[in-house]
Amino acid sequence: MPLRLLVVTHLYPRFPGDAYAKYLHFLCRGLPDHGVRPVVLAPHDAGAELQETVDGVRVFRCRYADRDDLENLAYRGQMHRLARNPRGALRFRRLLDSMARAASSLIESEGITVAAGHWLVPSGLIMRRVAKRSRIPMIMSSHGTDVMLVARKAPFLYRILRTFCRGLRRWTTVSSFLKSELVRLDPVLERTLDVLPLPHDQSVFYPAPDVPREDGLVVSVTRFTRQKRVDQLLTAFARVAKANPRARLEVFGQTPPPDSVRGRVRALGIESRITFHELTTQDDVRSAYHRAAVVVLNSVNEGFGLALSEAMLCGAPVIGADSGGIPDIVRDMRTGLLVPPDDPVRLGDSIRRILEDRDLRESLAAAGLSYATEAYDPSRLAGRYAEIVRSAAPTERPVPRSEGEA
């Protein structure tokens, strides 16, 4: 009988083409090939099915409010902000309670062997409640924001979760940087931690030799937050633009650029050399990667650096800051170039180097594509994750209630 895994997450694709946590679906749909049958529990969202089977994965979506418009804590990137006001805090509590009850019910009805949380917050808070009712072994996976929250922004949350975290059988992070942050937070955790990168959709991100790369085109897929250091990129590009009349910068963001960014562009005198795009579909991003002469991500303390690994799968040369999880992806002068964080001079020089050295550009792109194709292959990573799940499982497996009653 396959080992049965309950996956608890606040993000999971809600409809075909939904990009939210798509990599988690790739992981889940590959598990049955390795003897693990996943059942996913995620919050409900307006328009999403309460129960469905997608690519062989059973998905249950938990309601936590009386109306669709009140179920807005997940999928919008606003959970932590909304949970800080009284009404949002009440809905957050209802989310935790509703998900914990649903998880306990699924553990019994589905004969679950192991429970796996994705993102310590909120899944760890949910599973902590479940652990009080069930002795089922538990594992956790962290993807970036949750680690930085408990390690740097809100350490009181880890004090609440410490006993639960120390009781986890295994804990994966998507980069060695995140693993080191957790060890720094609590050295006891080192014995349970593994690095497991994100699986990538290689049917969406792939090389297109028939699409010509646009000479001088610099692409950045980012957000307009302090962590992403867009101001540093603009300063670096202004240096490049002075030396290279063909250089252009296209920035893809999840929102329109704020006035501060537009003001910086005007102050640098690069209005005619830069275009801002609001991020829409993965197809748009892939097209940008295919056209780019170089893709840049110079953010600091990045949990992973998805824009770089996706660009590598599309055959684009990349430049990343030597910070956070980016060095796991970019090996300097092998799969791309690394630059010191917060150094626009070095960043500008590296951009110019790639734009002006065709041989370097092509060798980095080829090596990056080869590395990313193997490192982020969904089937291979699903196999590694299945091994981690099996290592946490008890020797005797529970029987689903429906099978036990048959």
Chain-centroid distance of CA 248 in Å reads 28
Coil, strand or helix at 281: coil
Query: Which tokens is 108 given?
Result: 């019994």
Helix (H) or strand (E) holding 337: strand 337-339
| pLDDT tops 70 at residue 399 | no
Which fold is adopted by the domain 217-375?
A: Rossmann fold (3.40.50)
Q: What is the DSSP string of 143-205?
A: -SHHHHIIIII-HHHHHHHHHHHHT-SEEEESSHHHHHHHHHH-GGGGGGEEE-PPP--TTTS
pTM of the predicted structure, to 2 decimals: 0.92
Average pLDDT over residues 28-52: 96
Coil, strand or helix at 285: helix
| pLDDT tops 60 at residue 115 | yes
| pLDDT tops 90 at residue 228 | yes
Report d(CA 41, CA 165) in Å as an integer.
20
Chain-centroid distance of CA 96 in Å reads 22
Coil, strand or helix at 114: strand
DSSP 397: P
pLDDT tens-digit profile of 236-268?
999 999 999 999 999 999 889 999 999 999 999
Average pLDDT over residues 333-350: 97
pLDDT of residue 58: 97
Omega prior to 207 cis, within 30 of 0:
no
Query: What residues does each domain of the chain span?
Result: 3-199+377-405, 217-375
pLDDT of residue 404: 47
Report d(CA 305, CA 144) in Å as an integer.
10
Is the alpha carbon torsion for 322, 327, 331, 337 positive or negative?
Answer: negative
Average pLDDT over residues 216-225: 95
| Cβ atoms of 189 and 165 closer than 8 Å | yes
Query: Is residue 405 very low, low, confident or very high in pLDDT (cuts 50, 70, 90)?
Result: very low
Average pLDDT over residues 103-108: 97
| Cβ atoms of 62 and 43 closer than 8 Å | yes
Between strands 57-62 and 51-54, the pairing is antiparallel
Query: Is residue 345 very low, low, confident or very high in pLDDT (cuts 50, 70, 90)?
Result: very high
Maximum Cα–Cα distance for the chain, whole Å?
A: 75
pLDDT of residue 406: 36
Query: Is residue 82 very low, low, confident or very high in pLDDT (cuts 50, 70, 90)?
Result: low
Omega prior to 122 cis, within 30 of 0:
yes
Q: Same CATH fold, 217-375 and 3-199+377-405?
A: yes
pLDDT of residue 191: 96
Q: How many CA atoms lie within 13 A of 206 on its CB side?
A: 7
The CATH superfamily label for domain 3-199+377-405 reads Glycogen Phosphorylase B; (3.40.50.2000)
| pLDDT tops 70 at residue 293 | yes
DSSP 336: B
Find residue 338's DSSP bridge partners: 320
Q: How many residues does the chain have?
A: 406
| Cβ atoms of 218 and 275 closer than 8 Å | no
Q: Write the CA distances from 269 to 229, 239, 264, 266, 286, integer angstroms.
A: 19, 11, 9, 5, 29
Tell me the three-class secondary structure of 221-273, residue by residue.
Answer: EECCCHHHCHHHHHHHHHHHHHHCCCCEEEEEECCCCCHHHHHHHHHHCCHHH
| pLDDT tops 90 at residue 230 | yes
pLDDT of residue 72: 87
| Cβ atoms of 299 and 323 closer than 8 Å | yes
DSSP-based helix, strand, coil % in the chain, nearest 5: 50, 20, 35
| pLDDT tops 60 at residue 321 | yes
pLDDT tens-digit profile of 145-175?
899 999 998 899 999 999 999 999 999 999 9
Report d(CA 105, CA 99) in Å as an integer.
10
Is the alpha carbon torsion for 266, 272, 273, 276 positive or negative?
Answer: positive
Q: Closest Cα partner for 119 from 96, 138, 95, 144? A: 144
Query: Is residue 376 very low, low, confident or very high in pLDDT (cuts 50, 70, 90)?
Result: very high
Query: Is residue 102 very low, low, confident or very high in pLDDT (cuts 50, 70, 90)?
Result: very high
Q: Say how many Å lie between the first and final Cα of the chain, rounded.
A: 15
pLDDT of residue 19: 81
